[in-house]
Amino acid sequence: MQLYPTPENRAPANITCLEVLSKGGIKLRAAYAIPPNPKGTVLILGGRGEFMERYFETMNDLMRRGFAVASFDWRGQGGSDRLLPNPLRGHIRNFADYDADLDAVYSRVIIAHCPKPVYGLAHSTGGNLLLRALRGKKWLERAVITSPLLGFHFGAWPVFIVKFLNFATWITGLSWLFLPGFSKLPMKRQDFPTNVLTSDRKRWDRDMTTLEQHPELAVSAPTYAWLRAAMNSISELMDWPRGRGPSCPTLIVMAGQDRVVSNEDTRAFLARAPGFSSIIIAESNHEILNEKTHIREHFLAAFDGFIETEKGR
């Protein structure tokens, strides 16, 4: 397994790419990089359909701050093993399989190779999965989550219709089908004007260059099975016991212009569970870490302040 930097998207210095074996014999693509005299490690958890190269800029930002970095591609996406004959289908049956991926990477990359203390930085679906771990596992000193998947924007689709279709495809064995309303092809350079992820053309084009050169990294629409698994996981997290906080202090950063996940649902979650801090970056679309430079700087300032609070205790 290998990484694919480009002139516009350089990999962190001395980054090591390795294969990690997860549940069911699934091979995951993982990587880590350690600067001189590291002051800890930030484990980066990407979202659905992403690939590690999208986080090279953020990795470099964190390494300039003195942190080691580590990341990986979830099963079914990026450079990790795919789960269906059509590799473009974003598929999973149960988020517990993703939990197993995180366990495998933590034990075989973080514990084996990376300096402590360990911090978490997760986005969207990765945020949902990190929250699952924070229900009990005491792995991290602090965690920061951007645009967590705690509810969807379903657009014109009533929720009861979505649930009915989910149930119907499950009982008929058709849950491998693409969700309607999503493109069956990967995102392309020309899709920027209608995308709901970022307002930054330069960073969009940077990532599309990677996909043009390495289309094997691409994933397109999710399947009904993925949606069913995601909704089940959201329900589990929304049943977070009242009065019990996460296993480490956690900052949730919402994107004010998000049209992928629901900030209303995130606020409902925050009202239920103590121990979380939150901010909103009003100008940002869903992918805060791939947004315009001033939005990223706003985020990085919040990240620095939150992590430095831990260091100063």
The per-residue pLDDT of the chain, averaged, comes to: 91
Could you tell me if residue 119 is inside a domain?
yes
Could you tell me if residue 9 is inside a domain?
no
Domain range enclosing 58: 16-311
End-to-end CA distance of the chain: 40
Q: Which of 95-104, 189-198, 215-224, 292-301 has the lowest mean pLDDT?
A: 215-224
Helix 224-238 × helix 159-171 angle, to 10°: 120
Q: Is the pLDDT of residue 311 over 90?
A: no
pLDDT of residue 157: 60
DSSP for 41-88, written as a single string: EEEEE--TT--GGGGHHHHHHHHHTT-EEEEEPPTTSTTSPPSSSSTT
Could you tell me if residue 103 is inside a domain?
yes
CATH number, domain containing residue 105:
3.40.50.1820
| pTM exceeding 0.85 | yes
- Read off the tokens for 128: 């949902």
Per-residue b or e along 83-117, where b marks 16 or more CB atoms closer than 10 Å to that residue's CB: beeebbbbbbeebebbbbbbebbbebbbeeebeee
pLDDT of residue 312: 47
Could you tell me if residue 276 is inside a domain?
yes
Q: Is the pLDDT of residue 164 over 70?
A: no
Could you tell me if residue 114 is inside a domain?
yes
Q: Count structural domains, the chain.
A: 1
Could you tell me if residue 5 is inside a domain?
no
Could you tell me if residue 11 is inside a domain?
no
Could you tell me if residue 71 is inside a domain?
yes
